[in-house]
Structure 1
Amino acid sequence: MRYSETLQLFDQACEFPAEHATVVQQLGDIELAAQNGDSVEMSEVLARTSEATYQSAEGLYNSLVGNLDDDFIGRKYYDDRAGSTSGTDEVRTETDRL
Structure 2
Amino acid sequence: MKKIFLALIAATVIGAPMAQAQDFRHGPDRHRTVTVEKKRVVTTHRWTKGHRMSPAERRRMAEVRDYRRYRLSAPPRGYHWVRADNQFLLVGITSGIISSIIAGR
User: Which has the higher relative contact order, 1 or 2, with Cα contacts under 8 A spaced 6 or more apart?
Assistant: 1
**Normalized against structure 1, the TM-score is what?**
0.22
Specify which structure has the higher proportion of strand. Answer: 2
**Normalized against structure 2, the TM-score is what?**
0.21
Specify which structure has the higher proportion of helix. Answer: 1
